[in-house]
Amino acid sequence: MRKKLIAGNWKMFKKIGEAQSLIKEIAQGAGDLGGVELLVCPPYTALNAASEARKGTQIKVGAQDLHWEEQGAFTGKISWDMIRDTGAEYVIIGHSEQRTYFHETDDTVNKKTKTALKGGLIPVICVGETLAERDGNRTMDVVSTQTKKAFEGITKEDATKCVIAYEPVWAIGTGRNATPEQAQEVHAGIRALIQSLYDASVAEGMRILYGGSMKPDNAKSLLTQKDIDGGLIGGASLKADSFLAIARAGL
């Protein structure tokens, strides 16, 4: 049985005090949520405070990106070591906003995934097609290429530590979610691909999250699909009540 993972991507929202308050509120409301794993991914500046605020709770903390080098002249970037130093345990890699605005490629996603694993961070690897790619019936091709490349050179043992997030680009922040059937079809395709790259046990253990306008009112129908093992949630993760309502739908 794969334990559902409900992850909040806070993007460029929440200063330190706000992050601490939100974690406190989530923790206070999460008493009945032992059956799901909760993860929040604040901006870098709030990572340490969030890691302190989560102590004694079931909430885990992750970063939203990392550089693939351990240190060096990379102005504006931070390394796995720095992320670990804040107390965070997860890292989002290859988010579509990174791909669209900051030159993330399948190659840099692969490098970052290798580095995260080497550094002991759990990667949440994002894949997903644009609207033009879906309309051109290229969804599975695009998602397969992104996934294959992300896992290139990654051992079976390391692959078991990874999480994948299927996030159709056209559904992120648009209020337009994939239907449960559309999402399930892609999730099943990703799981089959992981089986072909590794084996059935890796595929069966791999958590594949859905992301893209997941909200309290559509979460249940998505999270009850056979191959949807949680959510990566943007907008609705910024308030404790909506994040908790989504998490409850995953029980």
Applying CB under 6 A, among 223, 233, 240, 246 the residue interacting with ligand PEP is 233
The yes or no reply on residue 167 touching ligand PEP (CB under 6 A) is yes
Q: Is 13 exposed, middle or buried (0-12, 13-18, 19+ CB in 10 A)?
A: middle
User: In angstroms, what is the minimal distance from the CB of 167 to ligand PEP?
Assistant: 5
The yes or no reply on residue 234 touching ligand PEP (CB under 6 A) is yes
Phi/psi for 108 (5° steps) reads -70, -30
Nearer to ligand PEP, 99 or 191 (CB): 99
Of the candidates 83, 74, 8, the residue with the CA atom closest to the CA atom of residue 38: 8
Residue 117 and residue 98: Cα distance in Å, rounded? 19
Question: Of 12-20, 25-33, 51-59, 226-234, which part binds ligand PEP (CB under 6 A)?
Answer: 226-234
Q: Which residue has the tokens 């799981």?
A: 191
Which residue is nearest to ligand PEP, using beta carbons? 234
Question: Of 38-46, 59-67, 106-114, 166-174, which part binds ligand PEP (CB under 6 A)?
Answer: 166-174
Beta bridge pairs of residue 92: 124
Q: Which residues, at least 6 apart from 232, have a Cβ–Cβ distance to it below 8 Å?
A: 7, 9, 92, 124, 126, 165, 167, 209, 210, 211, 214
Question: Of 56-64, 103-111, 167-175, 193-201, which part binds ligand PEP (CB under 6 A)?
Answer: 167-175
**Catalytic site residue from 37, 95, 104, 187:** 95
Catalytic (active site) residue 167:
yes
Nearer to ligand PEP, 17 or 173 (CB): 173
Catalytic (active site) residue 103:
no
User: In angstroms, what is the minimal distance from the CB of 168 to ligand PEP?
Assistant: 9
Contacts (CB under 6 A) with ligand PEP, residues 182-221: 211-214
Residue 119 and residue 13: Cα distance in Å, rounded? 26
Phi/psi for 5 (5° steps) reads -115, 120
List of E strands, 24-183:
36-41, 59-63, 90-93, 122-127, 163-166
Applying CB under 6 A, among 93, 162, 172, 247 the residue interacting with ligand PEP is 172
Summarize as ranges the residues that interact with ligand PEP (CB under 6 A): 9, 167, 172-173, 211-214, 232-236
